[in-house]
Structure 1
Amino acid sequence: MSVTEPGDTLDLTSARPQYDEYEDPEVEWLDEAPAHWETARFRFLLETSPSKTEVRDLPDTTEVSFVPMESVKENGGLDLGETKEIEEVIDGYTYFRDGDVLVAKITPCFENRKGALASDLTNGIGFGTTELHVLRPGPDLDERFLYYVTMSHPFRKIGESTMYGAGGQKRVSNDFVENLRWPVPSPPEQDAIATFLDRETGRIDALIEKKEELIDLLEEKRTALISRVVTKGLDSDVEMQDSGVEWLGEIPAQWKTVRLKHLATAPEDGIQMGPYGSMLKGLESRDTGYKVYGQENIISGEFKAGHRWLSEERFHEMADRYELQPEDLVLTRKGSIGNSRIVPKGIQSGIIDSDTIRLRLRWEKIDRHFLQWLLHEAWYMQTKIALVQRGAVLSGLNTNTIENLIVALPPTDEQEQLVKYLNSEAGRLDEQISTMEEGIDRLKEYRTALISAAVTGKIDVREEVAVAPAE
């Protein structure tokens, strides 16, 4: 079984010492391990799914930490902001306590390394989602070492290969954990490895946090830039006028406000929401040449994505009202509300779905790229969309809401000027954000590779821990 990953190509062994002697650990996923490490099945070193009987005698009002799956962090950790009384959770949730190791069992949480070493639980006790494996190490297994094993690439890759179930309900079994054979050092050496990884992953995580803070600042700067440009223009000395719209405020005197419906080509087809329910039943999974477009295309901007198809007959029945054409502007109306894209040339023939609103506008009155900046990127328009959407959040937008959205519209030649400016300045910020994100990806890759190397004995960190200065 191959358990290689991009991070395995990082040359960690050249920068850190290795053990003097290695031997075959007699596991199919690892070629060699330190000769003095003992390979064992985890069933002999830990307990899985500890019994709730040890806490059933506690008073019903005892406060305990409550951990739904969204509170389990990727790459390790728990958000412990929620508590419940034990009587509320003891019969319907997974039990654990301080010192237990948690591993998400369901896809994609398992592959995304959702898990934690439980600590600082309220009264030392936690209950959480039933989609967690709970591992309680025995006396010969350091809980921190075990936690890092579960965060390693081999553990996750092997577990992924054993998943059972279908689609989004695939899980790793309890048997996988219990029967996994792993080379394990002595408890003092486990402690040294865990101490090393605590220190090094802490440093990496601190760097990642700084980069994420910089990304947040750059994104705030980008949002402010776009919103200023599409509402105030570029000339800070230009004469201003009251827009007559409370949430919009003042706009340049030569601009005007207009509702989107007055920019549409025609009332019957200019702004159109996709077909509902039974109209889209019986779709085909094979490529018929007639596609159904939706959020997956708008959010990603990739109009080749997707696998929903109509027969030629169904397409022609629906095309008059719902066809998507190049240079239409499409918006998401549910979930990620207000995302928008300009439809590129060369798309396959197709229609929009019920989660999509199509705008077919009079482009002689408005530059399509200016409108996209305004709808998709501008803070004020996103805020306005959120204010006017009807019903619950998931009910989404409708055509009436979009038709009556008010936009601030500069003259056509100024629209073109503003688009060029935004393409340049927002594009520059996008490049900086992309560079930061690539740096974070490399740090995460290095973090996983370092953990994997340490818990499989590819590097010897014992002396480094012994001589490391106190922090």
Structure 2
Amino acid sequence: MSLQPYPEYKDSGVAWLGEVPAHWQILQSRRMFAVRSEPARTTDKMLTASQKYGVLYQSDFVEREGRRVVEVILGVENLKHVEPDDFIISMRSFQGGIEWCRLEGSTSFHYVMLKPIKHVVPVFFSYLLKSQSYIQALRRTTDLIRDGQELRFSNFAQVPLPAIPEDEQYAIADFLEYETSKIDALIAEQEKLIALLAEKRQAVISHAVTKGLNPDAPMKDSGIAWLGEVPAHWTITRLKFVAAVQTGIAKGKDNQGKETISVPYLRVANVQDGFLALDDISTIEIEPEQLNRYRLQPGDVLMNEGGDFDKLGRGAVWHGEIEDCIHQNHVFAVRPHSIEAAWLNQITSSQYAQFYFMSRSKQSTNLASISSSNIMELPILMPPFDERDAIVAFVKAEQARLDALSIEAEQAINLLKERRSALISAAVTGKIDVRHWQPEANAA
């Protein structure tokens, strides 16, 4: 695809637009949009503005996300009516731009509704008002991120907009619809690949730690229905016989009048699946004698006590990355004494361990937690030491290979997203001329 610039440009006088095609006009935003201040109607359905899905009915958002949103309990007189082709500003979070609404309904007072007045083709402005160049210009009108200000119509009105012939707006929108759909399809392919690699990664761990590396090894019934057969020469024990489970300290204890020290404090958010995220570490005030009790030791296997289903039991090995670091009560420190930390970590990362954790957990809507007593009853497969060592090495090598492929796919996604963003900004600011663009002849 080779696109040329317009034949003639002029200085727009607007920093975020730069030079624009000579026939474009630049207008104040308030001449193109006005605030819709109509109160909600009794027949209005509640809307949710989402960067991921755009504007949709709240019930549809809940269905797609599989989780509830905070329901508005205000009377209808405190809600705002929205018409199709309005644009919605989230006053508290506009980093994704301004959303185009194609539905009739109502929203809370946390949103500003913009109704088009003139020179507005909604589908074109759905791209312009979410372009990075426009978002950056809007961001410069407020210190929202620093001091908690809310974005209001007065901020929107500070950013001039291009007024473009309507047929040209439609042409640009058609071009972007076509080209971004192709890019989105490529992104979806890479995301599917990443999901498949994650499944493969999980399968590699689970097969290796339950079946071993020798496909010809004689098998026996494990005696555990959901575990099935295991190599005949392996033994099965319980976690409590090969490791101790240490619970952490709860935050919020009243230490008034007591001598305290400040120490690093590991939270659930720091314990990811197979690695530790240590870029944001909290601290906590504790009594000096508590440090020895809760201090993490190299070789501890950290496991999350609960949270979202995908957080239950996930963990990683602690290698002493931070001196005198303790852990919160929602993170277990499993301290091996008759088993290697690396083997135990692979066990707890396997599908059979995840199944065990879920089956023994207390569950509510999308949340689960497991007690230390149930953790201690986890069945632990025990091949001979040399075999455990070989399995750990094999799994690490396979994980490294799969992770490298996943990183490549992530990099491809980032490049595609950059390409998508640059293409949108170039088109909506007139840096490329697509007035005579036609889709590819062989396009379906």
Q: Please tell me the TM-score bracket, short chain as reference.
A: 0.7 to 0.9
Partner Cα separation in structure 2 for residue 227 and residue 133 of structure 1: 50
Partner Cα separation in structure 2 for residue 467 and residue 319 of structure 1: 67
Deviation digits for residues 284-328 of structure 1 (CA, Å, limit 9, x no counterpart): xxxx883112223322834643343356xx363212321112221
- What secondary structure sits across from 1:278 in the alignment? coil
Counterpart in the other structure of 2:334: 359
Q: CA RMSD in A?
A: 3.2
1:273 shift after superposition: 1.5
2:345 pairs with one of 350, 372, 376: 372
Partner Cα separation in structure 2 for residue 281 and residue 193 of structure 1: 63
- What secondary structure sits across from 2:14 in the alignment? coil
1:447 pairs with one of 420, 423, 437: 420
Residues 230 and 307 of structure 1: CA distance in aligned 2, closer, same or farther (over 3 Å): closer
Residues 416 and 38 of structure 1: CA distance in aligned 2, closer, same or farther (over 3 Å): same
Residue-pair matches, total: 425
Residues 467 and 96 of structure 1: CA distance in aligned 2, closer, same or farther (over 3 Å): same
1:343 pairs with one of 292, 295, 318: 318
Counterpart in the other structure of 2:229: 250
Counterpart in the other structure of 1:267: none
2:213 pairs with one of 227, 231, 234: 234
Structure 1: segments with no counterpart, 5+ residues: 1-11, 265-269, 283-287
Partner Cα separation in structure 1 for residue 149 and residue 255 of structure 2: 27
- Where do residues 8-407 of structure 1 align in structure 2 (5 Å cutoff)? 15-52=2-39, 56=41, 66-69=46-49, 72-74=50-52, 77-78=54-55, 82=59, 90-91=76-77, 93-107=79-93, 110-111=94-95, 113=96, 116-119=99-102, 121=103, 125-128=104-107, 131-163=110-142, 171-264=150-243, 270-279=244-253, 290-299=263-272, 301-302=275-276, 304-310=278-284, 314=286, 316-335=288-307, 336-362=311-337, 365-376=338-349, 378-392=350-364, 394=367, 396-407=369-380
Q: Normalising by structure 2, report the TM-score.
A: 0.85
1:228 shift after superposition: 1.4
Partner Cα separation in structure 1 for residue 155 and residue 305 of structure 2: 42
1:96 shift after superposition: 2.5
Alpha carbons 1:103, 1:150 under 8 Å: kept: no
Counterpart in the other structure of 2:69: none
Alpha carbons 1:164, 1:172 under 8 Å: kept: no
Alpha carbons 1:77, 1:115 under 8 Å: kept: no
Structure with more of its chain in strand, by fraction: 2
Alpha carbons 2:301, 2:317 under 8 Å: kept: yes
- What secondary structure sits across from 2:120 in the alignment? coil
- What secondary structure sits across from 2:18 in the alignment? coil
1:435 pairs with one of 397, 408, 416: 408
1:215 shift after superposition: 2.1
Residues 395 and 226 of structure 1: CA distance in aligned 2, closer, same or farther (over 3 Å): closer
Deviation digits for residues 100-138 of structure 1 (CA, Å, limit 9, x no counterpart): 33444433xx32x2664333x4xxx23356544433323
Partner Cα separation in structure 1 for residue 255 and residue 190 of structure 2: 46
Structure with more of its chain in helix, by fraction: 1
295-304 vs 321-330, greater mean Cα deviation: 295-304
Alpha carbons 1:193, 1:461 under 8 Å: kept: yes
417-426 vs 27-36, greater mean Cα deviation: 27-36
Deviation digits for residues 366-391 of structure 1 (CA, Å, limit 9, x no counterpart): 22112212213x22222221221125
Residues 42 and 424 of structure 1: CA distance in aligned 2, closer, same or farther (over 3 Å): same
Alpha carbons 1:192, 1:465 under 8 Å: kept: no
Residues 346 and 196 of structure 1: CA distance in aligned 2, closer, same or farther (over 3 Å): closer
Residues 174 and 398 of structure 1: CA distance in aligned 2, closer, same or farther (over 3 Å): farther
Partner Cα separation in structure 1 for residue 326 and residue 266 of structure 2: 6
